[in-house]
Amino acid sequence: MSESLRLMAVHAHPDDESSKGAATMARYIDEGVEVLVVTMTGGERGDILNPAMERPEIRENIAEVRRAEMDRAREILGVHQEFAGFVDSGLPEGDPLPPLPEGCFATLPVEEGAAPLVESIRRFRPHVVLTYDENGGYPHPDHIMTHKVSMHAFDTAGDPDAYPDRGEPWQPLKLYYFVSFPPERFEALADALAERGLDNPFEDWMKRIRERERPRWEITTRVHCSEYLETAHAALRAHATQVDPNGFWFAVPNEIISEAWPTEDYHLVRSTVDTEVPEKDLFAGVREAVRE
């Protein structure tokens, strides 16, 4: 091959990279692919979701703590990682919803929010980009904004007239949405657990998914990566303020997950190379193009 393959995953907050596509990244790193995670915000307004980490000194220094957690997760996964530098918008709650904090990521013009991402694309030169769908995977303002800036950056990074001060143009070849929590996956896990007479820790989660109205993206690409589940889980545990190590994320043994649903799943949105779906490889069509 004339050059190494490169994969970029664009996420809203620290911990998102470890709960969505982490095993995929670990697999590709093992195969020699270079992987960069771009984290759009610092997660400064995130809640502390692990009761054991609810301490005043952590809450008062949450931005620094979450950066340290990201460092540990990055080392576990073996990825490169950089922050885009924007401020977490928080998840508004109430009826009516309160306005978002002034100057936060989700309030910015898309062109402004995409600028550092364009620069990252031009510097790293990824062949494949992963991001969220138009609903953000779930409707957090930062996730939705991450979708918007990712699409804009993908479409403009190769344009020499766009962002002329952000590096030499580079056009990624493919863009995917994460299909992180398809209902079929939880149904398969439920069946596998029932066959063994085990309780289903995802029962409430499945109910919420069924009731939630959101786009159901076709799975065009299934990446087999079950042998990297423990690496992904270790990276997720590194985000100790966000994940309870005794919670449902880790309640199903990896061997059951591997049997019931051994893939992480994606929807192909953009491709400038020839490929046929369904795919088993995010670099389908890219490998051939890079060899030429």
> Which of 105-114, 135-144, 263-272 is predicted with the least confidence, judged by mean pLDDT?
135-144
Average pLDDT over residues 257-272: 98
Percent of the chain past pLDDT 90, that is, above it, reads 87
> What are the distances in angstroms from CA 214 to CA 130, 136, 210, 289?
19, 10, 10, 35
pLDDT of residue 1: 36
Q: In what side-by-side order are the strands of the sheet with 34-41?
A: 80-86, 34-41, 6-11, 128-131, 174-178, 263-271, 221-224
Least confident of 70-79, 194-203, 233-242, 278-287: 194-203
Q: What is the mean pLDDT of residues 32-38?
A: 98
Cα–Cα dist 9/277, whole Å: 21
- Look at residues 140, 205, 139, 129 and name the one whose alpha carbon lies nearest to residue 173: 129
Q: If you ran DSSP here, which 8-state letter would residue 51 be given?
A: G
Least confident of 89-103, 117-131, 276-290: 89-103
d(CA 192, CA 209): 19
Report yes or no: 5 and 34 within 8 Å, Cβ to Cβ: yes
Name the nearest CA neighbour of 24 among 227, 250, 285, 276: 227
8 Å CB contact between 167 and 157:
no
What's the rounded mean pLDDT across residues 11-38?
Answer: 98
Residue that is written with structure tokens 């063994």 in the block: 196
* Across 8-21, average pLDDT: 98
Q: What is the pLDDT of residues 219-260, one digit of tens each?
A: 999 999 999 999 999 999 999 999 999 988 899 999 999 999
| Integer Cα distance of 121 and 169 in angstroms | 9
Q: Is 109 exposed, middle or buried (0-12, 13-18, 19+ CB in 10 A)?
A: exposed
pLDDT at 106 over 80: yes
Exposure of 93 by Cβ count < 10 A (0-12 exposed, 13-18 middle, 19+ buried)? exposed
The answer to whether 13 is a known ligand-binding residue is yes
Does the pLDDT at position 197 exceed 80? Answer: yes
Q: What residue ranges define each of the domains in the chain, with the CATH number in brackets?
A: 6-181+217-291 (3.40.50.10320)
Rounded distance between C-alpha atoms, residue 71 and residue 65, angstroms = 10
* Residue 268 contacts residue 220 (beta carbons within 8 Å): yes
Q: 2 pLDDT exceeds 50?
A: no
Residues 19/236, Cβ–Cβ less than 8 Å = yes
286: tokens are: 């890219």
Q: 265: annotated binding-site residue?
A: no
Whether 71 has a binding-site annotation, put simply, is: no
- Quick one: pLDDT band at residue 109, thresholds 50, 70, 90? very high
Among the listed residues 203, 121, 233, 116, the one whose alpha carbon sits nearest the alpha carbon of residue 168? 121
DSSP letter at 7 equals E
